[in-house]
């Protein structure tokens, strides 16, 4: 736990990955946080991350908050370790969740506070609010919703967690469950678009950091809401903001809308 003079002790999972290194960079030099533990896959113990040697997930209880942008499977295991120890709080940016993994994370959140988000960008979370508001006002009879996302060739899940977050926002605006109206793929003779469908289109290629676009298409006009990520540093900085916010919170499953004060 931090005080005015004591920085929040951060544990960093997936420390050798692209996001892990970006988060380590975002922590560097800040007086309000301290990288107390970093770890990655088994067998990496002892490798250097700056001045720090990699440890293991078994040591996370000595941290105030652990940040994890690895995989949903690894995040669930980390959350269950934290729940068993009663610490630390977690910031989770992993995507590609199965229903079973989601249920296990929610169970862990009964014991420790967890911030999970498909995207830690301030801009994307404002975009989600705008999408929900637009979907509430633009009737499904006249307006089709299509969500386009593009990421680098190394991304393993699709649609992205951010695209699904935007889909959930659009579905909330229309008072429906995304699972009941989503269309994730089209191929062959698909027939006419179902009324009220929320479609997803995906591109993977090159080094694209992240592009997300929500189109509301009517017969005679189109409204497009878009966000472009230029550097992973913006996600890393958002994760640090979330870590500072969740330290000392009561158990529960939170997201960036809570962190940014958009939800009471």
Would you report the helix, strand and coil content of the chain in percent, each value rounded to 5? 35, 25, 40
Q: Is 155 a catalytic residue?
A: yes
Among candidates 200, 173, 20, which has minimal Cα distance to 93?
20
Q: Is 152 a catalytic residue?
A: no
Contact 77, 221 (CB under 8 A): no
Task: Name the catalytic one among 53, 151, 226, 227.
Answer: 151
Q: In sequence order, what are the residues at sequence separation of 6 or more whose Cβ sits closer than 8 angstroms to the Cβ of residue 96?
A: 71, 72, 156, 157, 161
The helix or strand, by DSSP H or E, that contains position 6, with its residue range, turns out to be: none
Give the number of other Cβ atoms within 10 Å of residue 74's Cβ.
Answer: 18
Distance (Å, rounded) from C-alpha 42 to C-alpha 63?
A: 19
Question: Regarding beta strands 222-229 and 210-217, do their DSSP bridges make them parallel or antiparallel, or are they unpaired?
Answer: antiparallel
- H-assigned helices in 207-253: 233-246
| 11 bridge partner residues | 37, 66
Before 159, cis peptide (omega within 30)?
yes
Catalytic residue ranges: 151, 155
């Amino acid at each position: 736990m931090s005080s005015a003079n004591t920085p929040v002790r951060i544990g960093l999972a997936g420390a050798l990955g692209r996001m892990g290194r970006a988060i380590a960079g975002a922590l560097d030099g800040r007086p309000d946080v301290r990288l107390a533990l970093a770890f990655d896959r088994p067998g990496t113990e002892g490798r250097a991350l700056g001045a720090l040697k990699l440890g293991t997930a078994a040591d996370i209880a000595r941290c105030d908050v652990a940040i994890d942008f690895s995989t949903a499977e690894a995040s669930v295991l980390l959350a269950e370790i934290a729940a068993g120890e009663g610490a630390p709080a977690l910031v989770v940016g992993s995507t590609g969740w199965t229903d079973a993994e989601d249920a296990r994370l929610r169970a862990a959140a009964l014991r420790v506070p967890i911030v999970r988000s498909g995207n830690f960008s301030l801009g994307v979370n404002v975009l989600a609010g705008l999408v929900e508001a637009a979907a509430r006002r633009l009737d499904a009879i006249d307006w089709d919703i299509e969500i386009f996302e593009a990421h680098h060739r190394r991304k393993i899940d699709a649609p992205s967690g951010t695209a699904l977050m935007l889909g959930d926002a659009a579905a909330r605006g229309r008072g429906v469950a995304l699972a009941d109206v989503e269309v994730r793929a089209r191929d062959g003779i698909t027939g006419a678009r179902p009324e009220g469908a929320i479609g997803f289109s995906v591109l993977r290629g090159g080094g694209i950091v992240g592009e997300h676009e929500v189109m509301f298409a009517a017969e005679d006009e189109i409204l497009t809401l878009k966000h472009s990520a230029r550097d992973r540093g913006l996600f890393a900085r958002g994760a640090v903001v979330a870590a500072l916010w969740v330290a000392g919170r009561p158990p529960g499953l939170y997201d960036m809308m809570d962190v940014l004060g958009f939800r009471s």
